[in-house]
Structure 1
Amino acid sequence: MRHDDITEAIGNTPLVRIDPAVHGLANIDLYAKLELLNPFGSVKDRAAWGMARPLLAGARPGDTVVELSSGNTAKALALLAGMHGLPFKSVTNRMRVPEVKELLLLLGAEIDELPGRSECLDPADTDDPLTRMHRQLALEQTGYLHTDQYFNQRNVDAHAHGTGPEIVKDLDGRAPDWFVACVGTAGSSTGVARVLRQHNPEVEVVGLVAAKGDFVPGIRTIDEAHEVGLFDPGVYDRLETVTAEEAIDGLLTLVRRCGILTGPTGGGAFAGALRRLRAVDGSLTSRKTAVFIVCDRIESYLSYVRDRRPEIFGRPPRRNTTRTLTDAELTAAPEMSVEAAQRRLGGTDTLVVDLRNPYAYQALHLAGSINIVDEVFADLLHAGLPFSRRRPILLVCPVGEKSARYAALLHRMGHPDVHSLAGGIIAWRDAGAELVRD
């Protein structure tokens, strides 16, 4: 197979049957759509090329391709921009996987890390720096070619014209009975679902979101998903959560049993698919078919897996981690309302620890607080209590989810007076409480 341009190799990825001995389903044939075999390594190759192609056709010397992305879209766009002799800028506040950042730098990308509550844009939030960045990019004569993946319909169209029809073709003109996809920008799940329903209106579309407070690369929580312009809950017959542990379990099965070098997103899709399909498999009276998407490759996520499963790499299990908290401990996590926190801070030597990234902290924070990024804070806790038990502690994060987990863990570790700020910095701001800038 000969191509004149690497972009001609985007798409037409294999649909591979998963061995029933691996998944254990008696009445369902399960297939993986191997988007990791796109030339740049992920499902985002399709959308990146679809969005960038018209912009690159009209590019002028000195233009810069720019996207709000911290992962696969940024990688694909950096390569496409380079092929056209243009620079690429990744704007993000979620560069949380070291290998991804290093790869983008290798590709020549400029990384502009900004503060903000989320990587997606909330147009109603005039104080969010990412929203301000979006407005700046929208101005004419800026020299930026903004692909706008969270709102660009070409993101969806790339899958409506490519991924979806390919699945139908490889199933001999039929749509599957179930389609399972993780929700990131929602482009692939929305585009594929549109096509599959044209061939089978009864197909069940399962969208997978990350469990709240959990981090699975490429999968958003339901709150984050609602901030994506392309996300429409009506696309999905079911929206279910998947945890980081489930994603890694699925990843390991696909890698070790199927020879599919998937990253955590594909592992999460496999785990979510099995959970849903096992619930209905026993009641089926005829043969059915299901498809899930393997979004990208494992190589960029070794540190992510190593942090959560150190024993795989011959390292001892990490002590004092939020991943070992029980549901009961999380439910009982000590929280403090904004009003109670204001009273507390006015009369005690409470230490306020802000767990957000340093850019967000510099933009706005509680007076007198210190900034320890959540990943660094997690490392501190592995060695034991980092603070005196005699000093009250108030933990702060964007919306109170991560800080509640750390408060529960510190409580387990024996700290008698630790609380999470309920609702986080957002609740504090919305209550009109004072915030300061550095």
Structure 2
Amino acid sequence: MKYDSITDVIGDTPLVRIAPEIHGLRHIDLYAKLEMLNPFGSVKDRAAWNMVQPLIATEGDGDSDSDSDGKVTRTVVELSSGNTAKALAVIAGMHGLPFKSVTNRMKVPEIKDLLLLLGAEIEELPGQAECLDPTNTEDPLTKIHQMLSADTGAYVHTDQYYNPLNIEAHRTATGPEIVKDLGGRAPDWFVAAVGTAGSSTGTARALRGHDPNVGVIGLVAHKSDFIPGIRNIDEVHEVGLFDPATYDTIESVTADEAIDGMITLVRRCGMLAGPTGGAAYFGAVRHLRAIDETLTDEEERRTAVFIVCDRVESYMSYVRQRRPELLRQPARRNSVATLTDAEIAAATTIDAGEARRWIADARPLVVDLRGSFAFDALHIPGSVNIVDEIFAELLHGGLPFGRNQPVLLACPVGEQSVRYAALLHRMGHTDVRSLAGGIIAWRDAGAPLVRD
């Protein structure tokens, strides 16, 4: 096959059947849509090209956004720290355009290094939470989002969170490809991890346009876990493209479950999938297993499709941090990954009102676990900033402060802090508490926040 441009290679990704002896489903054929085989490595290639292509088409039109040679000079900008930024950086560079990734925090170092290699500019700006919340008009990251959308003279803001072209990339291509590869039939179930919600929404619309009875299962990260490319159930409602009516059910997957699914795809299926694909596989099998048990051999076989979003190579540090034994490294001491649900449930949490009284009475050390930019934007008066990854490293070596020192832990919404509070309690700390609802709840309660 010959192509005139690498962008012509985007799409038409394979649909590969998973052997039944691997997933254990007796009456359901499970297929993986290998979006990892797009030229820039992920499902986001489709949306990136669909969103930026109208810009590329304006090159040389001599409008006010062009230089003296008629070439577009606006900077392509996206609020992304992952695959969308990577794809846009490649495409922008191919057309001689600058690209800037604006983010609150880049949590996957391999992606950051790759963006720099591609020539991208990375702007890490303050934000009160780890991801954009367009409803919070006081969040600096939200203000940047609004500025980018308004200033079309200097920037082309592809705006993956709201741009309908994100959805259309999948409604017009990904979904129809699945139907074509299944011999003109839509699957009985479609399973997708939810990030910006573009791929799940667009694909679901196409499949249901072919067969309204297609079941759609959305997968989000467990509240206390981070899975690259997937939002948790609280975060997902902040995405402009997210519509809960798209999904018949939304279920959560833990980071460990995502890695378990990833290992199955990598070792048993030969698919070098990342943790997002692993989450989709694990969630699909878990959901379908109960259905499979109700089916009989006399019934027609059913089909289900999930998306393998990207490749594993970019997530080795993520795996090393959470499951070092997979890389033949010793298990880490004092890790939140070893906590039980009972230990987490037993951790002491206090709301903003109780926390303010406790701070006034006991003078605890207030530790803010958010990223440094979020902390610099606004934080509890007198608190200290120890980013969660650094705090985790401190705990591996033992208690980082006196056993009897009162400590209040805070994070964006209270999910990380409660786990660290539980771990400190296990390690013998006598008085550690977690701020329920995190900095967001503190702000919503009208409690004071300061900026250094």
Q: What is the TM-score with the length of structure 1 in the denominator? A: 0.98
Q: For residues 265 and 40 of structure 1, what CA distance do their matches in structure 2 show?
A: 16
Residue 289 of structure 1 aligns with which residue?
A: 303
Residue 365 of structure 2 aligns with which residue?
A: 351
Q: For residues 58 and 41 of structure 1, what CA distance do their matches in structure 2 show?
A: 26
Deviation at 1:340, TM superposition (A): 2.0
Deviation at 1:120, TM superposition (A): 4.8
Within a 5 Å distance, the mapping from 1:202-351 to structure 2 comes to 202-285=213-296, 286=299, 287-351=301-365
Residue 35 of structure 1 aligns with which residue?
A: 35
Q: Give deviations 1:331-353, integer Å, cap 9, x for gaps.
A: 11111222222222223331111
Deviation at 1:320, TM superposition (A): 1.0
Q: What is the TM-score with the length of structure 2 in the denominator? A: 0.95
Bigger shift: 331-340 or 28-37? 331-340
Q: Does 1:114 align with 2:125?
A: yes
Residue 102 of structure 2 aligns with which residue?
A: 91
Question: Cα 1:360–1:399, aligned 2, differ >3 Å: closer, same or farther?
Answer: same
Which AA in structure 1 matches 2:348?
Answer: P
Which AA in structure 2 matches 1:322?
Answer: V
Match of residue 409, structure 1, among 420, 423, 426:
423
Structure 1 residues without counterparts, runs of 5 or longer: none
Bigger shift: 327-336 or 186-195? 327-336
CA RMSD, Structure 1 to Structure 2 (Å): 1.2
Structure 2 residues without counterparts, runs of 5 or longer: 60-65, 67-71
The alignment partner of 2:185 has SS state of: coil
Q: Does 1:367 align with 2:381?
A: yes
Q: Give deviations 1:36-76, integer Å, cap 9, x for gaps.
A: 00000000000000000002222534310000001000000
Residue 15 of structure 1 aligns with which residue?
A: 15
The alignment partner of 1:108 has SS state of: coil
Q: Give deviations 1:80-115, integer Å, cap 9, x for gaps.
A: 000110111001113101101101111111111122
Deviation at 1:118, TM superposition (A): 4.1
Which AA in structure 2 matches 1:9?
Answer: V
Match of residue 424, structure 1, among 427, 432, 438:
438
The alignment partner of 1:432 has SS state of: coil
Q: For residues 146 and 352 of structure 2, what CA distance do their matches in structure 1 show?
A: 32
Deviation at 1:400, TM superposition (A): 1.1
Which AA in structure 2 matches 1:199?
Answer: H
The alignment partner of 1:318 has SS state of: coil
Question: Cα 1:355–1:104, aligned 2, differ >3 Å: closer, same or farther?
Answer: same
Residue 198 of structure 1 aligns with which residue?
A: 209
Whether the 8 Å contact between 2:128 and 2:140 is mirrored in structure 1 is no
Deviation at 1:432, TM superposition (A): 2.0
Q: For residues 44 and 338 of structure 1, what CA distance do their matches in structure 2 show?
A: 39
Question: Cα 1:432–1:372, aligned 2, differ >3 Å: closer, same or farther?
Answer: same
Which AA in structure 1 matches 2:106?
Answer: M
Q: Give deviations 1:201-257, integer Å, cap 9, x for gaps.
A: 211100000000100001110111100000000000111001100110010011001
Whether the 8 Å contact between 2:421 and 2:432 is mirrored in structure 1 is yes
Q: For residues 140 and 94 of structure 1, what CA distance do their matches in structure 2 show?
A: 23
Q: For residues 276 and 123 of structure 1, what CA distance do their matches in structure 2 show?
A: 32
Whether the 8 Å contact between 1:356 and 1:373 is mirrored in structure 2 is yes
Whether the 8 Å contact between 2:135 and 2:238 is mirrored in structure 1 is no
Aligned residue pair count:
438
Match of residue 137, structure 1, among 135, 145, 148:
148
Whether the 8 Å contact between 1:178 and 1:204 is mirrored in structure 2 is yes
Q: For residues 170 and 396 of structure 2, what CA distance do their matches in structure 1 show?
A: 43
Q: For residues 413 and 324 of structure 1, what CA distance do their matches in structure 2 show?
A: 12
Q: For residues 334 and 141 of structure 1, what CA distance do their matches in structure 2 show?
A: 49
Deviation at 1:297, TM superposition (A): 0.2
Question: Cα 1:121–1:315, aligned 2, differ >3 Å: closer, same or farther?
Answer: closer
The alignment partner of 2:216 has SS state of: strand
Which AA in structure 1 matches 2:261?
Answer: G
Q: Give deviations 1:249-275, integer Å, cap 9, x for gaps.
A: 010011001110000000000000000
Q: For residues 215 and 181 of structure 1, what CA distance do their matches in structure 2 show?
A: 17
